[in-house]
């Protein structure tokens, strides 16, 4: 670990206290780097604090083992609990600043100058673990069915909303399988699943009901037409 440095001088600044940020911090400390993690929220966990309870990991949980502490389960609650346990197990808390929203990061003096609420620092390296790929993308298109309720899959908090509804999935990715399972367990026989994928071999990531006029867009949805009308 580097020592005798002025406040705000680090080898590495990590922006974001989600699963990627905490893993980055752990390995940075293992490598002997002077690292600090800046998290805008009042606790670590990132998007796993906000995802619906039905959301789970989309890869094998074995791939998320950190040190000697594997993921206990693939569901949202287990993943969030593991992130918090990593902080305790590997004594990372002293290198984490909560309630610190980063306002800017720019190249400066052979490294990075980072400005945040109540903090200004310089580092040789910068990791942006902000989960930008999880921001919903809902296409701005003319809606042919004004009574159709549509929303992004991440906004599906109550699976019972899909009970008794026909569902069309637009996009490609693992959430299609989860949406399909949710439909099957919430009015199964009355729920039907259609899909529109951007490319061959892709599984949909957008779900919606056409019977009750509901559509849910997924993270990767780029559809340019309304869901199918039945």
**pLDDT value of residue 159:** 77
Distance of CA 171 to the CA centre of its chain: 17
| 178-209 residues labelled b (16+ CB within 10 A) or e (exposed) | bbbebbeebeeeebeebbbbeeeeebbbbbbb
The domain spans of the chain are 9-133, 137-217
Task: Tell me the H-state helices in 31-141.
Answer: 76-89
Closest C-alpha among 104, 106, 90 to residue 35: 90
Helices then strands, each counted (H, E), the chain: 3, 11
Short-list 9, 35, 3, 7, CA closest to 22? 35
Level-2 CATH architecture, domain 9-133: 3-Layer(bba) Sandwich (3.50)
The pLDDT value recorded for residue 127 is 96
Q: Tell me the H-state helices in 72-223.
A: 76-89, 175-185
Can you say whether residue 28 is alpha, beta or left, with left for phi > 0 and alpha for psi between -120 and 50 degrees?
alpha
Q: How many CA atoms lie within 13 A of 47 on its CB side?
A: 16
Give the model's pLDDT for residue 163: 77
- Residue identified by tokens 């902000």 is 130
Q: Would you give the DSSP letter of residue 3?
A: -
Confidence at residue 172, expressed as pLDDT on a 0 to 100 scale: 59
Nearest to 182 by CA among 208, 203, 150: 208
Instruction: Give pLDDT tens digits along the chain (230 positions).
Output: 334 454 689 999 999 999 899 999 999 999 999 999 999 999 999 988 888 787 777 667 677 778 877 777 888 888 899 999 999 999 999 999 999 999 999 999 899 999 999 999 999 999 999 976 666 667 677 777 666 667 777 777 777 777 777 777 666 566 667 777 777 776 643 333 444 444 433 333 333 333 334 444 444 444 444 443 33
Q: What is the DSSP letter of 66?
A: B
Strands 9-15 and 119-128: parallel
Q: Decide: residue 87, CB within 10 A, 0-12 exposed, 13-18 middle, 19+ buried.
A: buried
């Amino acid at each position: 670990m580097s020592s005798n440095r002025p406040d705000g001088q680090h080898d590495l600044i990590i922006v974001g206290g989600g699963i990627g940020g905490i893993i980055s911090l752990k390995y940075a400390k293992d490598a002997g780097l002077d690292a600090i993690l800046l998290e805008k929220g009042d606790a670590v966990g990132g998007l796993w604090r906000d995802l619906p309870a039905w959301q789970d990991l989309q890869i094998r949980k074995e791939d998320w083992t950190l040190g000697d502490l594997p993921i206990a389960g693939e569901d949202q609650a287990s993943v969030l609990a593991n992130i918090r346990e990593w902080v305790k197990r590997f004594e990372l808390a002293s290198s984490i600043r909560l309630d610190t929203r980063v306002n800017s990061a720019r190249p400066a003096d052979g490294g990075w100058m980072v400005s945040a609420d109540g903090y200004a620092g310089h580092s040789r390296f910068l990791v942006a673990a902000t989960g930008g790929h999880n921001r919903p993308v809902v296409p701005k298109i003319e809606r042919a069915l004004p009574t159709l309720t549509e929303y992004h899959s991440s906004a599906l908090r109550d699976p019972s909303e899909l009970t008794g509804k026909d569902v069309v999935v637009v996009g490609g990715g693992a959430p299609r399988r989860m949406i399909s399972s949710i439909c099957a367990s919430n009015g199964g026989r009355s729920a039907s699943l259609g899909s529109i994928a951007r490319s061959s071999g892709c599984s949909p990531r957008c779900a919606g009901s056409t019977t009750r006029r509901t559509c849910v867009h997924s993270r990767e949805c780029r559809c340019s037409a309304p869901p199918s009308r039945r």
